[in-house]
Amino acid sequence: MSTAFRLTLLRHGATLAPGGLGQHDAALSPLGHSQLEARWAALNGTDPIRAVASSDLQRCRDFAEIAASRDTLPCRIDAGFRELDCGRLNGVRADALVDGDALSYRRWQHDPADGLAGGESWAVFTARIDAALQRWLVAGADGHHLLLTHGGVIKALLLHWFGLPPNRHGQFWPGHAGHVSVWWDAAYPPVLLAFDAEPPR
């Protein structure tokens, strides 16, 4: 396996239950599926995808398995790529929070270092994702690697790679089927190649 290749982080598309925090397991909507199809075609046309990994939550996993099977690609499904665990607020919409939960969420948005409602701290979240990424990349193929995952995962990896603290997470807001591509070299820090946060049109 080559130690240098393009690595793309792709956020899932729109879901049937939008806006829920954390590790809720909402399915993709038809719009979300079409968003991912459009993004996949564009990315694959630029640099053919050779290996796929995905969160095990269905809004990521379902499309990853379909696309990988269609293109005869290896596909790793790993719970390590799940969204941040938000404790007892998993699945709750942010705009539905009231009283103490609403206050805790606002504070968390300003600095997510500590866990939300009994969930993961940012350090534990980042370590989980990085461990899953290393497992995949060590076992993977040559060429363009694509990880289908969640907005929080993309934020955490970018902050980790660029040496930024958790309170800078607001700099990165990947939309549905938004993506980030980096040049990955095991011997050097990742180099940013592309950041398209908007859903494909």
What's the rounded Cα separation, in Å, for the pair 156 and 125?
A: 8
Distance of CA 3 to the CA centre of its chain: 22
Residue 132 pLDDT exceeds 90:
yes
Residue 201 pLDDT exceeds 70:
no
pLDDT tens figures, 76-128: 999 999 999 998 889 888 888 888 888 888 888 888 989 888 899 999 999 99
Mean pLDDT for the stretch of residues 4-17: 95
Q: Where are the beta strands (DSSP E) in the chain?
A: 4-11, 49-54, 75-77, 144-149, 179-185, 188-196
What's the rounded Cα separation, in Å, for the pair 56 and 199?
A: 22
What's the rounded Cα separation, in Å, for the pair 81 and 176?
A: 17
Q: Where are the domains of the chain?
A: 4-84+121-196
What pLDDT is attached to residue 20?
85
Give residue for tokens 């007892």: 88
What's the rounded Cα separation, in Å, for the pair 5 and 187?
A: 12
pLDDT tens figures, 143-156: 999 999 999 999 99
Residue 2 pLDDT exceeds 90:
no
Fold of 4-84+121-196: Rossmann fold (3.40.50)
H/E element holding 135?
Answer: helix 122-139
